[in-house]
């Protein structure tokens, strides 16, 4: 189940997170988190699984996704972070 939530979150971020101006970042993060939670529930993913997929902090995860979209984090770094999530998820399973 954790893999399903992780895959959902990664796909959701690719589809919904884009470049955001610095002066709108916090507002957009809140909107993204709320929408992501709603979509996860609609997809049958429990809130706890979504939190686990986001390393217990969906807000920080969205901020990182925005930073990546804004070019502040390389795609390679984001891929590394996702790999780390998958590996640590297996250790805690």
Asked if residue 32 lies in contact with residue 16, where contact means CB atoms within 8 angstroms, the answer is yes
Q: Looking at residue 86, what is its pLDDT?
A: 73
Task: DSSP for 28-83, please give it.
Answer: HHHHHHHHHHHHHHHTT--HHHHHHHTTT-HHHHHHHHHHHHTTSS-HHHHHHHHH
Residues 37-58: tens digit of each pLDDT: 999 999 999 999 999 999 999 9
Q: How far is CA 16 from CA 10, 19, 89, 90, in A?
A: 10, 10, 24, 27
Is residue 74 very low, low, confident or very high in pLDDT (cuts 50, 70, 90)? low
Question: What letter does residue 46 receive in the DSSP assignment?
Answer: -
Report pLDDT for 73: 57
42: burial class by Cβ within 10 Å (0-12, 13-18, 19+)? exposed
Measured between alpha carbons, how far is 75 from 38 in angstroms, rounded to an integer? Answer: 26
Token reading at 46: 């429990």
């Amino acid at each position: 189940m954790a893999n399903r939530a992780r895959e959902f979150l990664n796909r959701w971020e690719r589809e919904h997170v884009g470049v955001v101006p610095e002066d709108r970042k916090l507002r957009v993060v809140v909107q993204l988190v709320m929408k992501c939670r709603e979509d996860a529930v609609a997809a049958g993913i429990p809130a706890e699984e979504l939190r686990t997929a986001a390393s217990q902090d969906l807000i920080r995860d969205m901020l990182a996704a925005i930073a990546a979209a804004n070019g502040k984090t390389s795609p390679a770094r984001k891929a590394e972070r996702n790999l780390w999530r998958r590996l640590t998820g297996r250790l805690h399973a």
